[in-house]
């Protein structure tokens, strides 16, 4: 039995086939290199991190931050908030305006200061008002909308005057009853009891500032 002879192709066809195979191999290699470079470009290297101050534990709103509440963590540069703090000493004694969860970056809008107005409309100011009944602030949270109602000393039975409408609460402080902890507890600053910081237009802020020491001030929660 004779074995079948292998087909004999023209030299030119064999050369073209070999060239095509080589081209495919080269193209596949180039694609693999391009894909690798793209992955390396999109995935940030491990050393591209930055220090960010984060909460060690859950911290309620209205708490004066202590060194034990904070630590420094490394975050990928692309994930670092623009207003994040990088050194715990910059936050010593500052008061939180929102509740922090463990591991959460601390930003300028999370503490009392200029950053508390982040995201508010242009021309908004932070107006401080002391309410007559601090217990009311146990039901108020940052982000709530409130009306500010003023009662003069000589008109206790008359309807109050609305000094501000639907202003946003930025921060509130109240002394919690004995044995209780409040999300808005200021951590022992008696002078802060009854204080609330509101985001208000300049003319409204001036009106609110004039209420200090004149009659009674109360808040009414409203929907937006």
Kind plus residue range of the DSSP H or E element containing 205: helix 202-209
Q: Provide the pLDDT for residue 184.
A: 38
Kindly list the distances between the CA atom of residue 5 and the CA atoms of 14, 15, 17, 69, in Å, as whole numbers in the listed order.
Answer: 17, 21, 21, 85
Spell out the domains of the chain, with CATH numbers in brackets.
49-112 (3.90.1210.10), 124-176+192-221 (no CATH)
- The Cα–Cα gap between 149 and 164 comes to 7
Q: How many CA atoms lie within 13 A of 19 on its CB side?
A: 6
pTM: 0.56
Q: What 3-state class would DSSP assign to 208? A: helix
DSSP string, 9-65: --HHHHHHHHHHHHHHHHHHHHHHHHHHHHHHHHS--TT-EEEEEEESS-B-TTPBP
Residues of the chain falling short of pLDDT 70: 1-30, 32-47, 154-158, 174-192
**Cα 33 to chain center, whole Å?**
40
Among 217, 135, 130, which Cα is nearest to 176's?
135
pLDDT digits (tens, 9 = 90+) for 62-79: 788 988 999 999 999 888
Instruction: Say what the pLDDT of residue 12 is.
Output: 55
| Residue-level pLDDT at 217 | 92
């Amino acid at each position: 039995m004779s074995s079948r002879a292998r087909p004999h192709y023209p030299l030119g066809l064999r050369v073209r086939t070999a060239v095509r195979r080589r081209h495919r191999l080269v193209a596949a290699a180039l694609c693999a290199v391009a894909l690798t470079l793209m992955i390396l470009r999109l995935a940030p290297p491990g050393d591209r991190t930055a220090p960010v101050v984060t909460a060690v534990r859950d911290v309620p709103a209205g708490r004066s931050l202590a060194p034990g509440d904070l630590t420094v963590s490394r975050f990928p540069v692309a994930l670092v908030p623009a207003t994040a703090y990088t050194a715990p000493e910059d936050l010593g004694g500052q008061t939180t305006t929102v509740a922090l969860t463990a591991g959460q970056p601390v930003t300028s809008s999370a503490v009392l200061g200029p950053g508390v107005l982040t995201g508010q409309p242009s021309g908004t100011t932070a107006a401080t008002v002391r309410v007559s009944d601090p217990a009311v602030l146990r039901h108020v949270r940052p982000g709530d909308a409130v009306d500010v109602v003023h009662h003069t000393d000589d008109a206790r039975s008359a309807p109050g005057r609305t000094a501000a409408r639907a202003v946003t609460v930025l921060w509130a402080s109240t002394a919690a009853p004995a044995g209780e902890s409040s999300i808005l507890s200021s951590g022992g600053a008696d002078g802060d009891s009854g204080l609330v910081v509101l985001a208000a237009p300049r003319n409204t802020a001036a009106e609110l500032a004039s209420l200090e020491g004149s009659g009674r001030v109360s808040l009414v929660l409203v929907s937006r």
